[in-house]
Amino acid sequence: MKHLKFMTALLAAGMLFAACDKNDDKNETPENETVTNDSFVGTLIVNLTDGTDYTQEDVLVDYAITDTAGFVLTFNQVSFSPKMPMKLDMSIPNVSYVIAGSEITLAGDGIVPLAMGGEFPKYTITKLTGTIVDGTMSVSMNCGSSPMKFSGKKK
């Protein structure tokens, strides 16, 4: 009987210790926390299907490097046509990048962008290239069938 009480007490102590240990994990820094981020303000030019360019000034573009989504470009409050009824935030996750000294080189193809809480496969990003160097960002890509370019300076 003493062994049964001892085993029950030992088991209860182990469960209590494990429960405390799990609670402690919630206070630690999450693994997917942003490692690096920065913001740029500049000009976005979209080549429309009718052959004209749609230009939007003072566009804010952020980037973040995270453990879970890699390099993420976010175009904040943008419209891609004068006929667009509203502005939206569009994120492009998992952009390939290389850091060499103070320069970051970007590339990507076949990336489905995220906006308004979901994926937008109709506007899959292709031919993405870009650089971030000396406080400037320059990015070009196709968003669906529309070529677009952004160039801006560090905010």
Say which DSSP state 80 is in: S
C-alpha 100: how far from its chain's center? 21
Cα 52 to Cα 38: distance, rounded to the nearest angstrom: 31
Choice between 19 and 6, residue whose per-residue pLDDT is larger: 19
Instruction: Write out pLDDT tens, residues 40-82.
Output: 999 999 999 899 999 999 999 999 998 888 999 999 999 999 9
Each domain of the chain, given as residue ranges in start order, spans 1-30, 36-154
CATH architecture of the domain with range 36-154: Beta Barrel (2.40)
Percent of the chain surpassing pLDDT 90:
72
Average pLDDT over residues 130-152: 97
* pLDDT at 98 (0 to 100): 95
Cα 125 to Cα 89: distance, rounded to the nearest angstrom: 15
